A and B are shown apart, each in its own frame.
Chain A
């Protein structure tokens, strides 16, 4: 087990930022472990969700933002509904993911999937399932992803080969464009200060 030096690792600003961004008082967590007990992905986590909450309380940014668990959480909100202190734990996990994403600490497979998904929305206004798969395979090199499902789904005539394109797809594209610009500006501002 890793020894944590509370004198040197405590980053108050990080704790405050997580609380502000999520609107949740993570400091009220008393480590009962209810969230961890109900978490469906706990067995795959490197840090259990209650430990992630503890890392936030301790202001340990490195631990909280570099754990693999952030990318394995399925956002099912079981933790949220069982927290005796009414912390929206899933929202805190979301916020930590946002912060890790901004710092470039992403899990490759997970982020590749999400980015592929959002790219289709950005271009067509709606998701394009085959496009997501193709992009995910190209990004990750996992070209055999779900090939076993092909003979199962093709006869069902469900997957449109071409994307649905909406009239207002450019409006949707502009939402993403402004978002990217804001993020770039914030990062430039961050580097300058």
Chain B
């Protein structure tokens, strides 16, 4: 499987671990990512908040570069990039809008632009959850995980065309395939505060605290995410959320690609686990303990079976002897 790859700006900085683990997981599963040469920023929320044509032009430059490489699909880990690239293509189906976008570019876009998909969608729909389950070497047994999708992955539904906008299941299904226990989570698509962290941290702290509290109340050991901004609010800004809600959160927040990498047995440095602010050490320990307990139980069970078999054989022999006598 081959995809043109759009890493997105945050992957070069605050979400370096998402970028690294996405690449590692795709490589391990044989999904070939061909980075779009000299890609530029999609403009994210600031561009579409300023103007839709400007936003689409920033995306269109990248889609044109991908088209020039002969790509029919672009994959990106970031939901914000995904939303912008996908929306740009969608809006440019309108010739008037397309004309306005072309007027901002050095050269007009090719007639056919590639569609954009999230790496999550590729893994769930193209690679498949069952195929992922077959690749698991170290099941996430013993871990209780809350799946947090954030707002953009499947909204607006008619443009994003992926999963359920109110009750998405893609992450749930992957986590289950990896052997984790998925806890019920009523806040799957509630907003974390997005980029409010800088101009209005009171808002992002309040919204993130709500998510962390709910995950904790449902007994989650960790929250899994698929978005750099969600991750920043829940992990980097977790202490701000703690202060805002007067509770002390200590909830590891991992990208789904990190959990996948752990379960696929990939090297920890390829997953950027050391870049998480809330340490996942306790989580990994819990996994090890669960495995040790399972191994011990298996050993006891095996011993019990052998003992039972021995006893049975002994009894049989005794019976046979009795019969002979």
Contacts and interface: CB of A to CB of B under 8 A. Distances in A.
Interface of A: 40-41, 44, 72, 74-78, 80-81, 88, 90, 94-95, 97-98, 101, 109-110, 112-115, 117-118, 121, 125-127, 129, 132-133, 136, 145-146, 148-149, 152-153, 156-160, 164, 166-169, 171-172, 174-176, 178-179, 182
B166 A81 contact: yes
A178 B53 CA distance: 11
Contacts of A112: 199
A156 to B, nearest CB: 5
B95 interface: no
Given A90-B156, A121-B43, 7 more contacts: A76-B155, A77-B152, A98-B52, A114-B46, A158-B16, A166-B40, A179-B53
17 contacts: A41-B203, A72-B200, A74-B191, A75-B49, A75-B194, A78-B191, A98-B51, A110-B199, A113-B198, A117-B44, A121-B58, A132-B198, A146-B201, A152-B236, A171-B61, A178-B104, A179-B51
A109 B54 CA distance: 21
A3 B164 CA distance: 42
Q: Which 3 A-B pairs have the closest CB atoms?
A: A76-B151, A114-B46, A40-B191
Contacts of B199: 109-110, 112-113, 136
Interface string B48-92: 111111100110010000000000000000000000000000000
A127 B45 CA distance: 12
A157 B276 CA distance: 11
Contact of A127 (B44, B151, B191): B44
A121 B55 CA distance: 12
A148 B44 contact: no
Contacts of B39: 166
Looking at chain B's contact residues, the main secondary structure is helix
B131 interface: no
Interface residues of B, number: 59
A172 B197 contact: no
A86 to B, nearest CB: 9
A112 B199 CA distance: 9
B61 A74 contact: no
Contact of A77 (B156, B275, B277): B156
A131 B105 CA distance: 25
B12 A81 contact: no
B267 to A, nearest CB: 18
A179 B54 contact: yes
Contacts of B252: none
Contact of A157 (B151, B196, B275, B277): B275
Given A75-B49, A156-B277, A179-B51, A148 B196 contact: no
A118 B47 contact: yes
A41 B190 CA distance: 11
B240 interface: yes
Contact of A172 (B40, B46, B152, B236): B40
A74 B156 contact: no
Contacts of A178: 103-104
A69 to B, nearest CB: 12
A75 B45 contact: yes
Given A81-B165, A94-B49, A94-B52, A146 B197 contact: yes
B156 A158 contact: no
A132 B232 CA distance: 16
A75 B55 CA distance: 14
Contacts of A179: 51, 53-54, 57, 104
Contact of B151 (A78, A117, A174, A182): A78
A148 B239 contact: yes
Given A40-B191, A168-B40, A175 B104 contact: yes
A113 B16 CA distance: 22
A118 B50 contact: yes
A188 B17 CA distance: 47
A59 to B, nearest CB: 22
Contacts of A40: 190-191, 193, 207
A125 B275 contact: no
